[in-house]
Amino acid sequence: MMPNTRLGKRSPFGSLVGSSCPEPNKTSTTKATRAGQQGISRVRDHGDLKVPAGNNHKQKKIPESPRILFVSCQMKMSRRRRPRLIDSCLSQSQCCLLPQAYFQCGGAGDSQTDNVAQSTCCSRSISSCIDVPRSRTAQQEVDMDELMAAMVLSSLSCSPPPALQVSAHKQTAASSMDCGAVELSDNSSSSGYWSVNRGPRSPAPPSPTAEANGRSATPPDEGLDMDLDQVLFEEPAPRKRRNSLKVAYQCLWPSCGKVLTSLMGIKRHIRMVHLCQGGEHERCSHSEEDFYYSEINQWDEPRRQSPPSPPPPSPSCSALSRSAPSPCSSLWQVQSEHSYQAPPPSHTVSPAAATSCRLTAPPTSRQEPVSRVRSVSVGEQWLQHQSAPCRRIRSEAKKCRKVYGIEHRELWCTPCRWKKACQRFLD
């Protein structure tokens, strides 16, 4: 046999994933313990997948795409949802086990330190803000682990802050614009951004009064409806973006939902309206507003239906849940990222890819995205998917039972007769 390599029956990867559970005593293993071990190990095995390096032909390589998705989704999590572990990490002022260039979590939130961090921007000083590298030239091969972790923890550190003083804010805003511009012009894949094809620093910063009036002075015709049924999620591909693509940014703040077409506008809106309303300067770090808007891309089609005003938010919904796509669409978003998960039948991926739990080919390029939404909830969806393992989908493939029927059991292949995995109609 292959000890410690089987997850148990119906393992998430079709019995192809190793189990981290030691096999205590085969003969004395009761059903209950077996079942319990399965349940536990499934969840856990996604965390620490133990896939022996190619010593078993049945082993499948676990794709990296979930992480990529995770990064690209730029998961945003409210403090409420912060895992306790990370919470304790934050509370203890411990530097998280992350590349500090991406994220540092300091406990005190010293404003002086913040300033230092902003000025050096790539320094390794402890800061309560997210330390976004000012320039990462040609780092397209950024470690996805680091990115993922950075995204998670940076999002966690950016819980809704109360406010910031205006004077301090301007300084922060300036540097924020600076870094933001660099980041936008940077490769989008490195930061989870979808870079908007805008020249860096193109618009001059508007006057503070204009900023203050930004909420009401927003052109109302920029309201875009997030047609979540048609939301497709892709990896950033800015170069392929067509000219007809409209980009808008929706504020994810609870009870807001404002949509602006300008990145700076939405940042300014978030910063001014939501982040920096009271005091507490240190909570309002630059780049924090990145986590409170979501980019909406819409192809230039005459499909606008709704009035431009933002939809009335449901009072019971948080920003996360409000921005959450419907289960269907988010599922599709996730699935579209993972070739090993079957797409829903109504989308453009060919049905052949539906059985891609076997990890055959990467997902086909989908050429008809109508709109895209970077939203908080995709990360959560990803987490849910992580805990709901990639199971062996009941495929369309015929099985002996289906083909011949129970009455012709003698025609079945032997494994089918033995209630094993069918080997005649492999899918």
Partner DNA sequence: CTTGCCGGGAG
Partner DNA sequence: CTCCCGGCAAG
Which residue in 212, 355, 401, 404 binds DNA (CB under 7 A)? 401
Amino acid identity of 356? Answer: S
What minimum distance in Å lies between the beta carbon of 65 and DNA? 19
Cβ nearer to DNA, comparing 183 with 337: 337
Which residue in 10, 61, 303, 408 binds DNA (CB under 7 A)? 10
Amino acid identity of 292? Answer: Y
Name the strands in the sheet holding 259-260, side by side, starting at the edge strand that comes first in the sequence: 259-260, 245-251, 293-299, 371-373
Three-state DSSP at 408 gives: helix
Is 27 an interacting residue with respect to DNA (CB under 7 A)? yes
The DSSP H or E segment spanning 88 is: helix 84-91
Q: Which stretch binds DNA (CB under 7 A): 127-135, 252-260, 328-336, 390-398?
A: 390-398
Cβ nearer to DNA, comparing 38 with 323: 38
Is 350 an interacting residue with respect to DNA (CB under 7 A)? no
d(CA 67, CA 338): 10
Cβ nearer to DNA, comparing 318 with 335: 335
Is 239 an interacting residue with respect to DNA (CB under 7 A)? no
Let me know: does 38 contact 354? Beta carbons within 8 Å.
no
In degrees and rounded to multiples of 5, residue 231 shows phi and psi of -70, 130
Which residue in 34, 134, 198, 304 binds DNA (CB under 7 A)? 34
Is 57 an interacting residue with respect to DNA (CB under 7 A)? no
Is 242 an interacting residue with respect to DNA (CB under 7 A)? no
Let me know: does 176 contact 164? Beta carbons within 8 Å.
no
Cβ nearer to DNA, comparing 408 with 420: 420
d(CA 61, CA 64): 9
Is 240 an interacting residue with respect to DNA (CB under 7 A)? no
Let me know: does 114 contact 129? Beta carbons within 8 Å.
yes
Is 392 an interacting residue with respect to DNA (CB under 7 A)? yes
Residue 32 buriedness (CB in 10 A; 0-12 / 13-18 / 19+): exposed
Which residue in 144, 384, 391, 404 binds DNA (CB under 7 A)? 391
| Locus of tokens 């980041």 | 183
Is 44 an interacting residue with respect to DNA (CB under 7 A)? no
The count of residues interacting with DNA (CB under 7 A) is 33
What minimum distance in Å lies between the beta carbon of 402 and DNA? 5
Structure-token pair, residue 150: 């950075």
Site residues for DNA per CB under 7 A: 6-11, 14-15, 26-27, 29, 31, 34-35, 38-39, 388-389, 391-394, 399, 401-402, 414, 416-422
